[in-house]
Amino acid sequence: MNALLDIHPEVADALHHGRSVVALESTIISHGMPWPQNLETALRVEAAVREHGAVPATVAVMAGRLKAGLTHDDIESLARQGLTAPKVSRRDLPLLLAEAGTGATTVAATMIVAALAGIRIFATGGIGGVHRGAATSFDISADLQELARTSVAVVCAGAKAILDLKLTLEYLETQGVPVIGFGTDELPAFYSRASGLKVNRRLDTPEQIARVLHAKWQAGLQGGVVIANPIAPEHEIPRERIDGYIGQALREVQQQGVEGAAVTPFLLARVSELTGGASLAANIELVLANARLAARVAGALAALSADEARAARQAEAVEAAMQAQAALGA
């Protein structure tokens, strides 16, 4: 147990008994949506995880402690703080911990805390990636490097549509991160179901995905897996429509000199304005869908681990019986 980590009692009990747990990030609460939709969505996402048989573990840094599982008050506090809550990635964790600060964890930081707690499955909206224009800006999300080093699978609707999706896939390939399409041959484009870019493998059931995760980690292959879950057809925004709004928002980023960690929240908020709130509604729906799928994958993975443990116990019992019989024969 890490000395700086607090695991919520419900989460700890589930982990101890081999039940399925799904990690959830908190940046989406403070930076991804406005009040009060952020609080409502966070609670709905936790409820969706429960409805599909898993325990939710929303992750954050609270008063200098790594938290795997938040109380209602914790979630509401982050939601009310909004953009004033620090956005915490791997780089920021030691600074915030040393200062006993509070902050909302990105995909990268959530993966770190989940791994420390022993949680293998994480649901979010979209991962970070290679930003458009990265050839000159070198703006690449730390999420991608975390996926290469931390053994947590991330269920998402692909990378955020404001990014360069082709280069994001190239980076993941270089880092050896498998990209699985759930019921799709193409990488979802967040608000849209397809991007024209192929995933590494299409799998159609949570059980198939769980077997891949189990095989990867049993083989000692460290690092995460991207499980790309396309938004439902009734909630998607056509690519030709959303791309125009994203292009306009990107031009405004340059005109206004928005930089660093402020870029993504600015773009998401501006695209929401330009779409008349349609992008926010789509974002909420895809996060809920990802939470439901993550719970199902977590359940299938827990079942595989339980089967393996039972087989090991049976093998030990047979071996003990054979040794006892041999001793009697001697």
Catalytic positions are 25, 160
50/52 Cα distance (integer angstroms): 5
Nearest to 239 by CA among 169, 182, 189: 189
185/99 Cα distance (integer angstroms): 45
226/176 Cα distance (integer angstroms): 11
- In this structure, are residues 185 and 199 in contact, taking their beta carbons and an 8 Å threshold? yes
Enumerate residues 6+ apart whose C-beta is below 8 A from 160. 125, 126, 127, 128, 129, 190, 264, 268
Q: What is the 3-state secondary structure (H, E, C) of 162-178?
A: CECHHHHHHHHHHCCCC
Length of the chain: 330
